[in-house]
């Protein structure tokens, strides 16, 4: 009750971080536990480290894993950017940004180049990331073998012994059914020539960006209680066949706002007659191109 009163009073007078929360919401012991998992994950690229995921003030599937990872990495000097499917202004992005504004009183930005931590759902920003930036992915299902081998014990063994033949069975089935590899998102990758990893449901268009990226890439799965990571400058290759090589395809259109040929596009249906247009999914990239022109 006291806390609630304190909370109400604060809200009217102080815009700063609410004192009823520890910095960035999580308590220090939890953050320490998560940082340990993160360090282990960085040491073994692509390996899924179990961690004891906390109950967060948002439902599972809304980025609880990513939020916990971000919270554990956050310092008072950080500038945070949150994107959801590439956009800064969708519900998930706005609410997570506000969450950190409120609990950590931290600077936020929409500019990729100015952010020190970027939490993302299902995209990698178009703008090249730099050293000292951290990209935090929200992951729904961390186990790339889950749909092929439902037994968790067995998938653990398969990872430990690099028994990855079954992963190619999935791609084989794709080609057989469709004449090409149909998997368009969550396209499996091999990290540092060892562990097969689910890159979270990013479009396969983004897969090449993970390879040799100067930024730290962290993956948090809250419900599944797993953390994994790609350290800077790590080799990440997308699985394929010799005669069906990996193809990071995109819609064969230009962005109808900024005219970009290179960025990943969202298809927007514009009226009831089925007319459609394509726009950049990365809103910041699109806006900056418009400003520069």
Partner 1 sequence: MQPILSVHNLNKYYGNQVGCKNMNLTLYPGEVVGVVGESGSGKTTFINSISGNLIPDSGKILIETGNETIDFLEISESLKRLLIRTELAFVHQNPRDGLRLDVSAGGNISERLMSIGQRNYGNIRQTIFKWLDKVEIDKSRVDDFPRTFSGGMLQRLQIAKNLVTSPKIIFMDEPTGGLDVSVQAKILDLLRKLVRELNLSVVIVSHDLAVIRLLADKIIVMKNGEAVESGLCDQVLDDPQHSYTQLLVSSVLQV
Q: Which residues bind partner 1 (CB under 8 A)?
A: 157, 160-161, 163-166, 168-169, 172-173, 175-177, 240-244
Tokens of 186: 């969550």
220 vs 51: CA distance, rounded Å:
10
Supply the minimum distance, in Å, between the C-beta of residue 173 and partner 1. Answer: 5
Rg of the Cα trace of the chain? 20
Nearer to partner 1, 57 or 150 (CB): 150
Supply the minimum distance, in Å, between the C-beta of residue 234 and partner 1. Answer: 22
172 vs 125: CA distance, rounded Å:
30
CA 265, 147, 228: angle at the middle one, nearest 5? Answer: 70
Nearer to partner 1, 151 or 253 (CB): 151
Q: Which of 114, 121, 116, 119 is nearest to 133 (CA)?
A: 116
Supply the minimum distance, in Å, between the C-beta of residue 61 and partner 1. Answer: 25
Instruction: Give the active site residues.
Output: 46, 255, 258, 280, 286
218 vs 230: CA distance, rounded Å:
6
Beta-carbon contacts of 292 under 8 Å, excluding residues fewer than 6 positions away, are none
Supply the minimum distance, in Å, between the C-beta of residue 235 and partner 1. Answer: 17
Dihedral sign computed on CA atoms, order 208, 214, 215, 221: positive
Nearer to partner 1, 14 or 169 (CB): 169
Supply the minimum distance, in Å, between the C-beta of residue 170 and partner 1. Answer: 8
26 vs 6: CA distance, rounded Å:
19
Nearer to partner 1, 173 or 267 (CB): 173
Is-contact 212 234, C-beta < 8 A? Answer: yes
Q: Which of 185, 186, 189 is nearest to 197 (CA)?
A: 189
Nearer to partner 1, 132 or 151 (CB): 151
């Amino acid at each position: 009750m006291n806390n609630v009163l304190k909370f109400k009073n604060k809200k009217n007078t102080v815009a700063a971080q609410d004192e009823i929360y520890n910095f960035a919401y999580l308590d220090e012991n939890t953050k320490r536990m998560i940082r340990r998992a993160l360090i282990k994950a960085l040491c073994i690229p692509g390996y899924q480290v179990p961690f004891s995921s906390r109950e967060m003030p948002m439902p599972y599937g809304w980025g609880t894993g990513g939020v916990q990872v971000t919270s554990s990495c956050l310092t008072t000097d950080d500038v945070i950017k949150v994107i959801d499917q590439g956009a800064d202004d969708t519900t998930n992005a706005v609410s997570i940004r506000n969450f950190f504004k409120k609990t950590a009183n931290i600077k936020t930005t929409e500019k990729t180049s100015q952010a020190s931590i970027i939490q993302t759902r299902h995209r990698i920003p178009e703008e090249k990331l730099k050293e000292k930036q951290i990209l935090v992915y929200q992951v729904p299902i961390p186990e790339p073998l889950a749909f092929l081998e439902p037994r968790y014990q067995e998938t653990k063994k398969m990872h430990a012994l690099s028994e990855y033949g079954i992963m190619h069975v999935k791609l084989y089935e794709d080609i057989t059914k469709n004449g090409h590899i149909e998997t368009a998102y969550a396209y499996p990758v091999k990290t540092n020539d060892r562990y097969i990893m689910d890159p979270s449901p990013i479009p396969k268009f983004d897969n090449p960006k993970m390879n040799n990226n100067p930024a730290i890439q962290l993956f948090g799965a809250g419900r599944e209680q797993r953390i994994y990571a790609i350290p800077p400058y790590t080799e990440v290759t997308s699985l394929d066949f010799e005669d069906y090589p990996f193809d990071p395809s995109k819609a064969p259109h230009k962005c109808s706002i900024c005219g970009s040929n290179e960025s990943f596009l969202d298809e927007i249906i514009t009226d009831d007659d089925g007319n459609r247009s394509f726009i950049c999914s990365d809103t910041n990239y699109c806006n900056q191109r418009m400003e520069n022109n």
